[in-house]
Structure 1
């Protein structure tokens, strides 16, 4: 159901979905649309007020998404990296190197006009970055869960269409979506803490959310931020 909220001189149109959820959830799609999910018992007036309270965040998110083009790695274009639009610059070089310098991703290679080699170079860089960032995030997280008696899980990284992460409590394997390299570090930490919490509570029970709230008090804010990146592709 479509609804419109007026904030000062601006109208915010959003899609309201009634679901069996505990809290109201708002996200901005890649195309800039606004979607809100809320339980049937929540009055529309309350939902409108919730959307209005997020007006500044919605505008900033829409502007950020509008500035990020779909990645093709041509010189002067941008890619999304850790939640920020990063310009890409191709350079002539004897060896293939990738350096993030002053907010610009510099790609040096013998044939910088070769799109396929450029894409392969960036993909390799992102894969290595995933391994470094995710391993560090998991180690930091485990320092918390080790005190709760959790066994340290194995980390796997792969592409996933519908989930940011998963936890196999039987094999003790936490799998993270490689697309997490596109989102802010705070969102990466949220996914890691979420999956590690499953080592103690396999289901999304009340105990699960109580523990998650104890080890990460602002997890709901991080989750809402992450949802604005749901439709971002690598």
Structure 2
């Protein structure tokens, strides 16, 4: 999806897209080719990640409301007896979203002040080919829910990246200069993020 200032003429926008098709396809191919996690079954002693740290999953079956709890060594998933894998995954995904919602607003506020921009809304979405997105026309950003599994500094890099698009919608020299000036280690963060595994692809996109 192309996002561009409303004053941009259609033919100019089309010419830009054509000139960048190679780069766009290359970036999508890199994400699609990126290592994938083995599909999770949400069973006892399975490995799961939060903020870059590995935890073993403990599953408790009890006649109580489904919930997820974190302690210093493990993630505990409580579900009703006989809960299918798809429902267990849904509960875990809801928990990951809650972890992101707990930290994203403060990151946005921090970088709104530094970049001199204002975000109208942010959305969490499961995405297969990118870590984030920005729509300057509505001043909203999207973040991949998989970022909850990665180190927090990589989430911050994506937040900075998308907020910078509110100033410069394209990946131009001006955009690169913005990142260089405000987040000098962005290249290292991007490289690290693109080396980490993505989730298995057996899901449909969701937004919240």
TM-score (norm 1): 0.64
Q: Determine the structure 2 residue equivalent to 1:228.
A: 195
Checking the alignment, whether the CA contact within 8 Å between 1:190 and 1:222 is kept in structure 2 is: yes
- Greater per-residue helix proportion: 2
Between the aligned partners of 1:88 and 1:128, the Cα distance in structure 2 is 18
Decide which of 115, 125, 146 is 1:179's aligned counterpart: 146
Question: Are residue 169 (structure 1) and residue 169 (structure 2) matched?
Answer: no
Question: Are residue 73 (structure 1) and residue 42 (structure 2) matched?
Answer: yes
Structure 2 unaligned runs (5+)? Answer: 1-21, 24-29, 202-208
Q: Who wins on radius of gyration, i.e. which is larger?
A: 1
Larger RCO, structure (CA 8 Å, separation 6 or more): 2
Decide which of 105, 108, 119 is 1:138's aligned counterpart: 108
Between the aligned partners of 2:171 and 2:197, the Cα distance in structure 1 is 20
TM-score (norm 2): 0.72
Structure 1 unaligned runs (5+)? Answer: 1-18, 21-25, 32-67
Q: Determine the structure 2 residue equivalent to 1:30.
A: 35
Question: Are residue 201 (structure 1) and residue 168 (structure 2) matched?
Answer: yes
- Greater per-residue strand proportion: 1
Between the aligned partners of 2:51 and 2:40, the Cα distance in structure 1 is 14
Decide which of 91, 105, 130 is 1:121's aligned counterpart: 91
Between the aligned partners of 1:215 and 1:194, the Cα distance in structure 2 is 10
Between the aligned partners of 2:34 and 2:125, the Cα distance in structure 1 is 23
RMSD in angstroms over aligned alpha carbons? 2.6
| Structure 1 runs of 4+ with >3 Å offset | 26-29, 112-117, 230-234
Q: CA deviation at 1:223?
A: 0.6
